[in-house]
């Protein structure tokens, strides 16, 4: 729910978003944050894909070990109050986390891009009204919009993903809009208009390609926000429902047992923090790789 990392970048990116570097991947791997981020995200994707191979137990199997068993050789991260293996649940949890990231960001990216493009391209009253609306929604903050959505749809992980996706639309719309404004002011765009390019051509050939690099950056950072938000909602009981091995939900069920079984609180928290860190670093890395000016700092 902290949109800080992304918020602080918005304007910055708007002016530099179009910068493209030939050696993107080389640049990404050259930056320490990019590399660490990529490694963490890679690990997450790998555990999500290979969960059945990696997990020593079925994540839903009760009495896989004694109840509330501390970490041991048999259960590296201990067991929970149903005797389920915490490590296996964390590994399977990666699937849900990835799903949350992709779906939530997918929704906000698509809708935000569309809104921002329309507003930025159309100008005049349409723009003013749309952006005013976006600004208002933005000031509500994401968690309140997400709460409102959940109050409407009802609780659950899928609904939480959608709610988070909707809640972030204003942010993506804002960024897209500002990038579009910058692009529209550039000489090549005016030249294209002068050459008689149609709306479709202007939008898809000129604006869109220049918006995309920026959106890749904020999308990557946005995954971290979405993961954090979904974990928060699940923690509050509004997201994942039992027996889903969702990390935020696991944290919330650890609360009653915090002194009996601190491992139930420590590992899911670490998993969320590392994942979010991974996407934040990767986002920073991508930004640096796309924008040489940033790299010099």
Partner 1 sequence: MEIRLLRDVWRPPVLGAALAGTMALGGACATAQELVWARYGDIDSLDPHRATSTLSMQVWDQIYDTLLAFDMDGNPQPNLASGNEASEDGLVYTFTLNEGIMCHDGTPFDANDVKFTIDRAFGDTPSLTKTSWGPISDVTVVDDLTVQVTLESKFGAFLPFLADSFSSMVCDTNTADTFGSSTAIGSGPFKLVEWVKGDEIVLDANPDFKNFGKPVENAGPPMFDRLIVRTVPEPQTRLAALRTGEVQIAEPPFDDIEAIKSEGELDIVVADNTGQNVFWEFTISRPPFDDIRARQAVAYATDAQMAIDIIYGGLSQREWCPIARGVFGNDQEFCKQFGYEYNPEKAMELLAEMGFGPDNPLETTMFVWTGGNRHKLAEIFQAQLAQVGIKAAIEIMDIGTMNARVKEQNESPDDPSPGTFDMMTWSWYDPDILYQLWHSPGAYSGFQTPELDAMLEETRTTIEPEARLEKVQAVIQYLMENAAHVGLYTPGWEWVFAVRPEVEGFKIGPFLHPIFLDVTLEEG
Partner 2 sequence: MARFILQRLMAALVTIWIATIAVTILIHLVPGDPVRIMYGSFQTTPEELEAIRVRLGLDQPIWRQYLMYLGRLLHGDFGNSIVGDQPVIDILMTRFPSTLALTLSSLFIAVVVGMSLGFLAAYKRGTWVDVSAMVLAIVGVSMPHFWLGLLLLFLFALQLQWLPVAGGDWRSLILPALTLGLANAAVLARLTRSAMIDIFDQDFVRTAHAKGLPKSIVLYRHALRSGLVPVVSMLGLQFAYLMGGAIVVENVFAWNGVGRLAIEAVFARDYPLIQGFILFFAIIVALASVVIDVAYAFLDPRIRYS
The tokens for 231 are 């974990």
By CB under 8 A, is residue 16 in contact with partner 2? no
Asked if 184 and 197 count as a contact pair (C-beta separation under 8 A), the reply is no
* Contact residue for partner 1 among 19, 257, 266, 277 (CB under 8 A): 257
Q: To the nearest whole angstrom, how small is the minimum distance from the Cβ of residue 74 to partner 2?
A: 25
By CB under 8 A, is residue 15 in contact with partner 2? no
Please, which residue, 211 or 251, has the CB nearer to partner 2?
Answer: 251
Which among 221, 293, 297 is positioned nearest to 20, based on CA atoms? 293
Degrees (nearest 5) of the Cα angle 53, 55, 56? 105
Please, which residue, 179 or 251, has the CB nearer to partner 2?
Answer: 251
The residue range among 100-108, 154-162, 188-196, 275-283 that interacts with partner 1, by the rule CB under 8 A, is 154-162
The tokens for 128 are 């003013």
Which among 100, 131, 99 is positioned nearest to 115, based on CA atoms? 131
The H-assigned helical ranges of 204-262 are 208-235, 247-253
Quick check: bond before 243 cis, omega within 30? yes
Taking residues 1 to 40 in sequence order and writing x for each that binds partner 1 by CB under 8 A, - otherwise, the string is ----------------------------------------
Taking residues 219 to 248 in sequence order and writing x for each that binds partner 2 by CB under 8 A, - otherwise, the string is -----x---x--xx--xxxx---------x
d(CA 94, CA 117): 33
Please, which residue, 6 or 159, has the CB nearer to partner 1?
Answer: 159
* Contact residue for partner 1 among 12, 19, 81, 143 (CB under 8 A): 81
Other beta carbons within 10 Å of 20: 14
Chain contacts with partner 1 (rule: CB under 8 A): 60, 62, 67-68, 81-82, 154-156, 237, 241-243, 253, 255-260
């Amino acid at each position: 729910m902290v949109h800080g990392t992304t918020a602080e970048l918005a304007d910055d990116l708007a002016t530099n978003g179009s910068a493209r570097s030939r050696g993107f991947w080389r640049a990404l791997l050259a930056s320490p944050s990019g590399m660490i981020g990529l490694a963490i995200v890679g690990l997450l994707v790998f555990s999500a894909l290979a969960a059945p191979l990696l997990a020593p137990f079925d994540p839903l199997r009760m009495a896989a070990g004694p109840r509330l068993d501390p970490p041991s050789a048999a259960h590296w991260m201990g067991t929970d109050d149903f005797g389920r293996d915490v490590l296996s649940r964390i590994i399977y949890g990666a699937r849900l986390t990835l799903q949350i990231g992709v779906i939530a960001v997918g929704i906000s990216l698509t809708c935000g891009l569309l809104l921002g493009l329309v507003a930025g391209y159309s100008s005049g009253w349409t723009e003013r009204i749309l952006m005013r609306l976006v600004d208002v929604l933005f000031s509500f903050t994401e968690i309140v919009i997400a709460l409102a959505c959940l109050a409407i749809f009802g609780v659950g992980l899928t609904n939480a993903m959608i709610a988070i996706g909707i809640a972030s639309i204003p942010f993506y719309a804002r960024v897209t809009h500002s990038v579009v404004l910058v692009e529209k002011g550039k000489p090549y765009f005016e030249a294209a208009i002068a050459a008689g390019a149609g709306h479709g051509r202007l939008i898809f050939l000129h604006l869109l390609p220049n918006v995309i690099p920026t959106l890749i950056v904020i999308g990557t950072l946005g995954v971290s926000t979405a993961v954090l938000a979904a974990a928060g909602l699940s923690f509050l009981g509004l997201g994942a429902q039992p027996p889903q091995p969702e990390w935020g939900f696991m944290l919330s069920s650890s609360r009653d047992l915090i002194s009996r079984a601190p491992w139930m609180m420590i590992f899911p928290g670490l998993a969320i923090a590392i994942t979010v860190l991974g996407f934040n670093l990767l986002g920073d890395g991508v930004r640096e790789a796309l924008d040489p000016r940033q790299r010099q700092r």
